[in-house]
Amino acid sequence: MRKILVTGGAGFIGSNFVRMVLAEHPECVVVNLDKLTYAGNLENLRGFLDHPNHKFVKGDICDGDLLARLIDEDRIDAIINFAAETHVDRSITGPKIFVETNVIGTLTLLEAAREKKLERFIQISTDEVYGALGDEGMFTEQTPLSPNSPYSASKAAADHLVKAYGHTWGVRYNITRCSNNYGPYQFPEKLIPLMINNALNDKALPVYGDGLYVRDWLYVYDHCTAVWSVLHQAPPGRVYNIGGCNEKANLEVVELILSRLDKSKSLIKHVTDRPGHDRRYAIDASRIINELGWKPSVSFEQGINKTIDWYIENHDWLTDVVSGDYKRYYQTMYGSR
């Protein structure tokens, strides 16, 4: 695809994707549409904002007129939809915006893809649509959708709409369902950057419940290469799980961060659990590995070291992001726990 509309390209994964495409695929032109919510940050595109193959547009995926204009003006071939409200804790305190962006926004994009007969629509979904696992098993693409949080319910609703647009109107789509990402430019409300930031500032590290909840971690660059493979190699109508087989309990991750930063475990503070907290996620990624030949480029140990180094080296980015709004959010979320 030569001309792609990337939505949410100023967020964590979207900005890593845009940077990868501009750096490694000079034949590709990127139109980057982002509403710049609290999670969107043009600093995430530092060095790439004025790239000749990049056009940034501040706007909402719920704006159908804007989408139609961009697709026509820039002769877009494909949409890759990263834009979303993404934080589970925020979806518990305020679910409505999750339905607006994740469901209505995806619907509006699908309408545009249908009307303009785009070559491909890629929906960036999540492993959380499958619900939670016990001690055994892994999510495959056949696992029934059974979301548990308002966030994952809104993402599952979007997945159903994408499939319905494919079935009813022949929209050529793919859905990707990735496990937890980590790496540069992640907003420090999510586990790994939050813990790095707190440890660097000698603040308590708030671990929910017993800390034995398990997530399956993937370095963000590897998620981006997987999405690129799907865009260029996958047959339409196919769903792909993406993951790196790195299951870790939260406490293990937190202790690793403390040890790398030479900080004491006494900073760990067990706090009230997240309501409805999913116990364990684990992704079976054999379909994308076998069909598209994708594989992760780094191990968890390499990825977490690169990530910690990045947050230390980019302390200015972290300080800017941890602004007044963030301080208010942090007080609301953790003040009484």
Contacts to ligand NAD by CB under 6 A: 7-8, 10-14, 33-37, 39-40, 60-62, 82-84, 86, 101, 105, 124, 126, 155, 178, 180-181, 187
Binding mask 190-209 for ligand DAU (x = CB under 6 A): xx--x-----------xxx-
Residues of this chain, 121-160, that bind ligand DAU according to CB under 6 A: 126-128
Cβ at position 267, least distance to ligand NAD in Å: 24
d(CA 196, CA 188) in angstroms, rounded, equals 8
128, 159, 216, 278: the catalytic one is: 128
Give the type of residue at 56: F
Let me know if 127 is a catalytic residue: yes
DSSP SS3 for 325: helix
Let me know if 165 is a catalytic residue: no
For 309, residues 6+ apart whose C-beta sits below 8 A from its C-beta are none
Question: Which residue in this structure is represented by tokens 């979207």?
Answer: 14
Cβ distance to ligand DAU smaller for residue 19 or 223: 223
34, 77, 85, 127: the catalytic one is: 127
Contact partner, 77, from ligand NAD, ligand DAU, none, Cβ < 5-8 Å per class: none
What residues does 54 pair with on adjacent strands?
30
Point out the residue whose Cβ comes nearest to ligand DAU.
126
* Structure tokens given for 9: 């390209």
Of 17-25, 48-56, 85-93, 255-263, the window that binds ligand DAU (rule: CB under 6 A) is 85-93
d(CA 181, CA 149) in angstroms, rounded, equals 18
Work out which of 86, 174, 225, 307 binds ligand DAU, going by CB under 6 A.
86
Of 34-42, 53-61, 189-197, 232-240, the window that binds ligand DAU (rule: CB under 6 A) is 189-197
* Structure tokens given for 4: 């792609």
Cβ distance to ligand NAD smaller for residue 104 or 204: 104
Let me know if 128 is a catalytic residue: yes
34, 130, 151, 329: the catalytic one is: 151
What residues does 218 pair with on adjacent strands?
181
Q: Please count the CA atoms within 13 angstroms of the CA of 141 that sit on its side-chain side.
A: 15
For 167, residues 6+ apart whose C-beta sits below 8 A from its C-beta are none
Instruction: List C-alpha distances in Å: 96 to 59, 125, 150, 153, 264.
Output: 19, 18, 9, 12, 39
Q: What angle do CA 54, 59, 62 make, to 5 degrees?
A: 125
d(CA 124, CA 219) in angstroms, rounded, equals 16
Cβ distance to ligand DAU smaller for residue 60 or 85: 85
Question: So which residues are the catalytic ones?
Answer: 127-128, 151
Q: Residues interacting with ligand DAU, by CB under 6 A?
A: 86-88, 126-128, 179-180, 190-191, 194, 206-208, 213, 215, 250, 274, 281
